[in-house]
C-alpha cells in the first residue's frame, strides 16, 4: 500500500470516538515487528521515529527498510519524524522520504514557534508531507513542564489557524516517560480546545495513562495517541527475565526474541484499546 500521511489516517477521526496509535520504532529490527502487529489488527499505523533512532540506525536505513515493508503492507502506514527541534533536520527528513514530521517549537516563545512552524509547513506542503506541531509544552515525569505549560484553548485556535498545521499536540496533564503516580488529565481544558480547534489533536506522553482516560480523550478530538515508554518497559523486562532463566545464553537472536514478542503484545493491546475499527470510523 502507498505511504500514508497524517491527513490520510486522521481526518476522518476528528469527530469520532476513536484514535490511531503512534508507536515508536526504537531501532531497525523492531520495524518489521511493529508493522506485523498493526497488520494483525488491520488498523492504520503511525510509525514514529525519533532523532535518537536516526542517530543509532541511520536515516537512509530507516527509510529504505520501512518503504520495502510498507509497499507490501495491506494497511495505511505513516512514517512520522517525532519531536524534531532543528528546522534543517526536519527538512532533511522530509527530503529523505518521511511522509509526516513533527516540528516541536513548544519550548520557544509563542511568536517564534509560529514563525518556525509556518516555515516547516511551507516546505512540507508542496511535497505532500503532513506536519504536526505542539502548543503548550508536554514535559517529562522527571519534572520538566507542569500545569504552567498547559495549552491555552485560544492560543491553540490561533496557532492552528495561522500555521495551517495538519495536527496539533496539546498539553493537558500528560508527561513523557513512565509515571510514578497516576496522571490527572484536564478534560475540561481538552473539551474547550476541541471546540475551538478544527484540526486533529494529538496526545503525547500517553504511556501509563489509565485506559478510561484514553477512552475519554478520544471523544474530545484526540485522534493520535503517542506510545513509547510503555513499549520499551516490557521489551526490557522480557530481556531481564530471559537472561535470569537462561544465564548461559549468548545468542542475541534468542535473547531478543522474547523482547520482540513483549513489544508486539503491548502494541496490540494499545491498538485494541484505542477503538479504531470500521464501526467507530463509519458511524
Query: Which residues are identified as catalytic?
Result: 82
The span from the CA of 236 to the CA of 234, in Å, is: 5
Residues 106, 113: contact at Cβ < 8 Å? yes
Dist CA 149 CA 107 (whole Å)? 9
How far are the Cα atoms of 85, 106, 192, 202, 205 from residue 155, in angstroms, in the given order? 20, 12, 11, 16, 21
Q: Rounded to 5, what percent of the chain is helix, strand, coil? A: 50, 15, 35
The Cα 137–Cα 101 span in angstroms is 17
Coil, strand, or helix at residue 146? coil
- 97 to 123, 147, 226: CA distances (angstroms): 13, 36, 21
Residue 154: exposed, middle, or buried by beta-carbon count in 10 A (0-12, 13-18, 19+)?
exposed
| CA 180 to chain CA mean position, Å | 22
Amino acid at each position: 500500500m502507498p505511504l500514508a500521511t497524517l491527513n490520510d489516517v486522521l481526518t476522518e477521526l476528528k469527530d469520532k470516538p476513536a484514535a490511531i496509535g503512534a508507536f515508536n520504532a526504537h531501532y531497525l529490527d523492531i520495524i518489521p515487528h511493529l508493522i506485523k502487529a498493526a497488520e494483525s489488527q488491520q488498523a492504520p499505523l503511525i510509525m514514529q521515529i525519533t532523532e535518537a533512532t536516526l542517530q543509532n540506525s541511520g536515516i537512509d536505513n530507516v527509510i529504505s527498510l520501512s518503504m520495502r515493508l510498507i509497499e507490501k503492507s495491506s494497511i495505511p502506514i505513516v512514517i512520522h519524524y517525532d519531536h524534531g527541534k532543528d528546522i534543517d533536520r526536519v527538512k532533511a527528513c522530509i527530503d529523505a522520504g518521511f511522509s509526516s514530521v513533527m516540528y516541536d517549537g513548544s519550548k520557544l516563545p509563542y511568536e517564534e514557534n509560529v514563525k518556525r512552524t509556518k516555515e516547516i509547513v511551507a516546505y512540507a506542503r508542496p511535497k505532500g508531507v503532513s506536519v504536526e506541531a505542539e502548543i503548550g509544552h508536554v514535559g517529562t515525569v522527571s519534572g520538566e513542564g507542569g500545569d504552567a505549560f498547559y495549552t491555552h484553548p485560544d492560543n491553540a485556535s490561533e496557532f492552528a489557524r495561522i500555521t495551517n498545521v495538519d495536527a496539533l499536540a496539546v498539553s493537558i496533564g500528560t508527561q513523557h516517560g513512565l509515571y510514578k503516580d497516576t496522571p490527572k488529565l484536564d478534560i475540561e481544558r481538552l473539551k474547550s480546545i476541541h471546540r475551538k480547534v478544527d484540526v486533529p489533536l494529538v496526545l503525547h506522553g500517553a504511556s501509563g495513562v489509565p485506559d478510561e482516560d484514553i477512552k475519554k480523550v478520544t471523544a474530545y478530538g484526540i485522534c493520535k495517541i503517542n506510545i513509547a515508554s510503555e513499549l520499551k518497559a516490557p521489551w526490557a523486562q522480557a530481556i531481564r527475565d530471559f537472561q535470569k532463566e537462561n544465564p548461559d545464553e549468548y545468542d542475541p537472536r534468542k535473547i531478543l526474541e522474547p523482547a520482540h514478542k513483549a513489544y508486539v503484545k503491548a502494541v496490540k493491546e494499545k491498538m485494541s484499546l484505542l477503538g479504531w475499527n470500521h464501526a467507530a470510523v463509519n458511524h
